[in-house]
Amino acid sequence: MNKKLIIPVVFAAASLAACNNAGNKPAAQKTDILVADMDTTVNPADDFFDYANGGWLKKNPIPADETGWGIAQLVNKELYERKLKINEEAAEKKDAKGAEQQIGDFWKAGMDTVNIEKQGIAPLKTELDKINAAASPADIMAVAANLHKMGVGVFFSEGVGQDEKNSEMMSYQLYQGGLGLPNRDYYFNTDERTTKIRNAYPGFVTKMFQLMGNDEATAKTKAEAVIALETKLAKASRKLEDLRDPYKNYNKMSTADLTKIAPGIDWQSTFTGIGLPKIDTVIVGQPEFYKALNEVITKEQVQTLKDYMAYHFVNEFAPYLSKPFVDARFDFYSKTIRGAEQQRPRWKRVLDAEEGAIGEALGQVFVKEYFNEKAKERYSQIVENVRSAYKARIEKLDWMSDSTKKKAIVKLAAIRKKVGYPDKWKDFSSLKITPNSYAENMMRSAEWWNQYSINKLGKPVDREEWDMTPQTYNAYYNPSNNEIVLPAGQFTVPGYRDEELDDALVYGYAAASTIGHEITHGFDDEGRQFDEKGNLNNWWSKQDEEQFNKRAQLLVNQFNNIVAVDTLHINGKASLGENLADLGGILIGLDAFKQTEVYKKNEKINGQTPLQRFFLGYTLGWLYQNRKEQMASQIMTDVHAPAKWRVNGPFPNVPEFYQAWNVQPTNKMYLPDSLRVRLW
C-alpha cells in the first residue's frame, strides 16, 4: 500500500514546511518551482498534468541509465551524495566498529571490481554443488528450503507476517511464486510488447546457463525445460487484481491439510530446512497453486527441477557477480522489460544493494547528520490536521449509516503514526559483513533477514518496528497494524528550504499526496476490511458495503477506460486501492488546507490563488516521465497507475478542481456529474 508509483527510490531528509508555516512566499532569490515547471501552452482544463509539469519534462529527458526521471531522482541525487560520504568515511576508518564497520566493509566489497571479476561465479559454488547433488524429489525440496533461507523464492513464496484475522499473532504464510518473469500475465498475454519480452526470455535463460559453464545447445535445452516448468506454475497463479481480495487470499489450515493439497511434498522437513521451528498451522494464499506445485515436484524430471533451482539462484545473485552476469541480467530485466539504455554507475548500484541489506544500520548514521526532532514534530502535526479533516468528512457523509460512521471514526482515531525514523533500531551485530566478497555479503544478509523474520514466530507483534528505512522516499499504510509510516525525507522539495514553501504547495504536496493518501488506505477497497485493531473483520453494514462498492465501481470504470501506453489500458480493479487513496488524499488534504489562514485570506502568489497552488503542489509530487517499456511493465505488475494518471485520473472527481481552473463541459478533463465518484 505504498504511496509512490515506481520501485522504491531513496529520498533526501531535509525538513518541510509545516501546516503552521504562516504561508511565507517563496524567497525572492529563487524561482517559484510551481511556476517554473509549467507549460502554459497547455490548457489546465484539458490536461492538468502536462500543464503543471510539462515545462520541466520538456527540458529534462530521461537519462540513458534510467527507466524514468522525475522529482524523486532530483532529491535522490542529494541523498546519494550523502550516503556516498557516509560510506567512504566508514571505509577509511581503520578501527570502525558496529554499523560503521559493516557499512565500510560492505562498500569495499561492492566497489572491489578486481576481486569481483577474479571470483566470477565462485561465491555461488558451494550452493550450486548442493543443487547438483540432488537425486530425488525429497532432495529437491531440501535444497529448495536452503535456497529460501537465502531469499531465493524457488517454486513458491513464503514468510512470517501478522495474521490478518488476529493482528496480535505472527503467522507463517505461503503464497504463489517461483516465476522468472515479473508475473503470470507475461507468460500468456498476446499483445505485441509482452510477446516481445516473452520471446526474448529463452535467450536470457540460455545465456545464464552458458555463464554457468554449459555449451550453447545444452543451455538452450535446459532453458526450454525451465520455462515450461515456470509456465505450469504461472498457469496456476492468480491475476494481479485477484490478489487484492484479503478473504479469498486467506486460507488458514493445518500442515496436515496442506499435505492433503500437496501430498508429494514433505512440508515439515521443508519448513525445518528453511529454519522454522515445528509448526502446526499455516496460512495459504492460493491453495490451487500448491496443487499445481505438487504436480511439478512429483512429475517433472529431477534434472529439470535442479536446472530450475540453479537458474533462479544464479539469477538472484547475478547483480553481485562478475560483469558477464551483471550485463546479462541488465540486458533482459532493465533494458528489454523496462527500457533502460545503459546501466547506472556501480557506486549507485552498491548503495542500492546496501539499502536492502543493512539499510537501517545506514539509517542510524544518516539521521544523526541529516534529520532532527523539530522536523519530526512538524510532520506529526500535519498528520493530526489531516486526521481531523477526515473525521469531519466522515461525519457529513450522506450515504453511510450512523453505526458504520462511528466505527470508521474509531478506526481513524486509532491509526498509529510513525514519522521520520524508528525509536528502536534493528540490531545487525550478528550479521557478518566482510570486504572479501560482495555476493557472499548479500547471501549472508539474506540469511540474516530470513532468520530475523522466523524469530518473530510465537512472539508478540512488535508494533514499533519499521518496514522502511529513514532515508527511503516512500510511505505506507499497514492494515494489520492500522498505522501510517512516513520516513524522514518523504516530503522534501529538492533545492528548497522550509521557509521557501508556501502552505498551499505543502498541503497539496504533503498533506494530500502522502499523508491523506496513506490514511485513506485504511478505508480503501482492501484496507476497509480491517478493523481498528488491524484484524480482518468486516465492520460494515451490508447496505453501507453495497454503497461503497457501487461508488468505487465508478472509479474502476474511469481507470479501465484510460489508455496509458500504446493500446494498454490501466487495470481499474487492480489499481482501485491506490486510486481511492489518491482521490481521498486530495479531498481530505484540501479540507485540511481550507482551515489555514492562507486559504482564508485567498491572496495570490505569482498570479495563482491558494486553491490553484494546492492542485499544482499535489501535481509536483507526480513530476515523472517513464519510458514506454517501464510504463507497460508497471501496468501489468503494479497496483499503482502511471504518474500522469495519478493526477488526471482523480482530479475530475474533485468539485474544487472545476472551480479553480474553470473546467467546462467542452474541456477534456470535464466529467459529467453523474459519473463522478462521491465516496469520501
Question: Which residue has 534529520 as its cell numbers?
Answer: 371
pLDDT of residue 6: 31
**Could you tell me the pLDDT band of residue 23, with boundaries at 50, 70 and 90?**
very low
Place of cell 497552488: 613
| pLDDT reported for residue 463 | 93
Query: Which has the closest alpha carbon to 53: 542, 596, 527, 644?
Result: 644
Burial of 247 (0-12, 13-18, 19+ CB in 10 A): exposed
Q: Where residue 250 falls among pLDDT bands split at 50, 70, 90?
A: very high
Q: Is the pLDDT of residue 665 over 80?
A: yes
Whether the per-residue pLDDT at 25 is higher than 90: the answer is no
Averaged pLDDT, 560-586? 96
Q: Using alpha carbons, list the distances in angstroms from residue 643 to 12, 70, 120, 443.
A: 20, 10, 39, 34
Q: What pTM value is reported for the model?
A: 0.86
For residue 610, which of 669, 660, 664 has the smallest C-alpha distance? 660
| Site of grid cell 504436480 | 295
Tens-digit pLDDT profile for residues 326-335? 999 999 999 9
Q: What is the pLDDT of residue 459?
A: 87
- Asked if residue 497 has pLDDT above 80, the reply is no
Identify the structural domains of the chain with CATH numbers, from first to last: 9-82+369-419+465-675 (3.40.390.10), 125-320 (1.10.1380.10)
CB–CB of 449/466 below 8 Å? Answer: no
Which single residue is written with the C-alpha cell 502554459? 40
Task: Specify the pLDDT at position 5.
Answer: 34
Least confident of 5-14, 61-70, 431-440, 577-586: 5-14
Which residues touch 289 (CB under 8 Å, ≥6 apart)?
Answer: 156, 175, 176, 233, 236, 237, 238
| Rounded distance between C-alpha atoms, residue 305 and residue 314, angstroms | 14
136 vs 144: CA distance, rounded Å: 12
Instruction: Grade residue 501 by pLDDT with cuts at 50, 70 and 90.
Output: confident
Query: Is the pLDDT reported for residue 2 higher than 50?
Result: no
Residue 280 has pLDDT above 50, yes or no: yes
pLDDT over threshold 90, residue 15: no
Q: What rounded mean pLDDT belongs to the chain?
A: 92
DSSP code of residue 332: I
pLDDT given at position 498: 62
CB atoms under 10 Å from CB of 186, counted, come to 21
Q: What percentage of the chain reaches a pLDDT higher than 90?
A: 86
DSSP string, 58-88: HH-PPPTT-SEEEHHHHHHHHHHHHHHHHHH
Distance from C-alpha of 291 to C-alpha of 302, rounded to nearest angstrom? 18
pLDDT band of 19, cuts 50, 70, 90? very low
Per-residue pLDDT tens for 425-473? 999 999 999 999 999 999 999 999 999 999 999 888 999 999 999 988 8
Over the stretch 313-324, which tens digit does the pLDDT of each residue have?
999 999 999 999
Per-residue confidence at 29, pLDDT binned at 50, 70, 90? low
Q: Under 8 Å CB-to-CB from 240, ≥6 apart: which residues? A: 183, 185, 571, 574, 636, 637, 639
Does 203 have pLDDT greater than 60? yes
pLDDT tens-place string over residues 367-412: 887 777 777 787 788 899 999 999 999 999 999 999 999 999 999 9
Is the Cβ–Cβ distance between 536 and 247 less than 8 Å?
A: yes
For 77-92, what is each residue's pLDDT tens digit?
888 988 999 999 999 9
Output the pLDDT for position 21: 35
d(CA 399, CA 55): 41
Q: Residue 215, Cβ neighbours under 10 Å: how many?
A: 9
Would you say 251 and 196 are in contact if contact means Cβ atoms under 8 Å apart?
A: no
Say which residues have a Cβ less than 8 Å from residue 117's Cβ, sequence separation at least 6.
322, 323
Classify strands 9-10 and 416-420 as parallel, antiparallel or unpaired.
unpaired
Nearest to 335 by CA among 647, 123, 634, 629: 629
Report pLDDT digits (tens) over 136-189.
999 999 999 999 999 999 999 999 999 999 999 999 999 999 999 999 999 999
For residues 514-520, give the mean pLDDT: 97
**Whether the predicted pLDDT of 3 surpasses 60:** no
Higher pLDDT, 498 or 360: 360
Dihedral angle, C-alpha 399, 403, 406, 412, nearest 10 °: -70
Q: In angstroms, rounded to a whole number, what is the distance separating the alpha carbons of residues 178 and 192?
A: 25
